[in-house]
Chain A
Amino acid sequence: MTRMNAQVEQALEILKSGGPESMDRAIESLQGAVYAFGMKVCGHPEDAEDTAQETLVRLARSLRDFPDARALAVWLYKVAKTQCLMSRRKSKFAPAQMLSLDALMPDHQVGSPAAPKSWAITPEEVVLHRESRERLERAVLALPKPYRLVLILRDMEQLDTREVAEVMEISEDTVKMRLHRARVFVRNELEKYFSKKERARS
């Protein structure tokens, strides 16, 4: 069983079933999911609102065309992705370039002071502390869009590789390749921040 973003799929089930109960909650849930996706991809509240509005109005027109909530969820992410790609504001961080694995590889030698050390921070703390949370957001927004979308869909929205491939209309191998480079890029950006903090402390 594949694991599509549960919140989206559940809300779409309720809409498709057509019963009056929980309808408002389902609409709010979808608004929340699509807006949050737009914020992660575009980094701007107005773009995220445009993305949510356009995507959900299109959903209303297409609700009957899909056999099940899973197919509809893939379609929903596809539409939201296209809306984000058309967003008016360009990210001030992201370069329009491909990421090469060689360039992302750290230049460390065993025993050298530049060799990476484990960070003294948990994933929960990364997202709870304002500064590290902002660093994470900036690092994601600094990714070129083809990589950013794959990382957001796979690691933040938690779609599986096949679903990401469907949404992005690329092969699963390309998803894996882009995902690894995107993760390494974000990791390296966070490393700069954490090692600078470490140096300031010592």
Chain B
Amino acid sequence: MADPRCKRIFAALSEYLDGDLPVKNCRELERHLKGCQPCLAYLENLKTTIQACRKYHVKQVPRPSALVRSALLQAVRKK
């Protein structure tokens, strides 16, 4: 990323994707993306990464131990 504009854009990509970037900066970023294929591809792949994280779930979960179950049930009864 030799271009200083690419560097500036790179630092702001998460804020842009989270909707936290001020409108003025969004416009600058979008203008840049129109003419910079590598930055656009970088952004798209970052978006895929974030969405994959959101869709990631741990598959196997053991049942709660007897200790956990009795501690929580006792706490509820005491209330």
User: A-side interface residues toward B, CB under 8 Å?
Assistant: 15-16, 18, 23, 27-28, 30-32, 35-36, 39-40, 45, 49, 52-53, 56-57, 59-61, 63-64, 101, 105-110, 115-119, 121-124, 126-127, 133, 136, 140, 151, 155-156, 158, 161, 176, 179-180, 183-184, 186-187, 190-191
Contacts and interface: CB of A to CB of B under 8 A. Distances in A.
Contacts of B69: 27
B1 interface: yes
Contacts of B72: 15, 27, 30, 56, 59-60, 63
A156 B54 contact: yes
A14 to B, nearest CB: 9
B53 to A, nearest CB: 4
B75 A63 contact: yes
Nearest to B77: A18
Interface string B17-58: 010100000000000000011101110111011111111111
B20 A176 contact: yes
10 contacts: A30-B64, A31-B68, A36-B61, A60-B74, A106-B42, A108-B38, A116-B38, A118-B44, A123-B54, A136-B56
Contact of B50 (A35, A133, A183): A183
Nearest to A108: B38
Nearest to B53: A155
Interface residues of B, number: 47
Given A27-B68, A36-B57, A57-B71, A187 B44 contact: no
Nearest to B64: A31
A56 B69 CA distance: 9
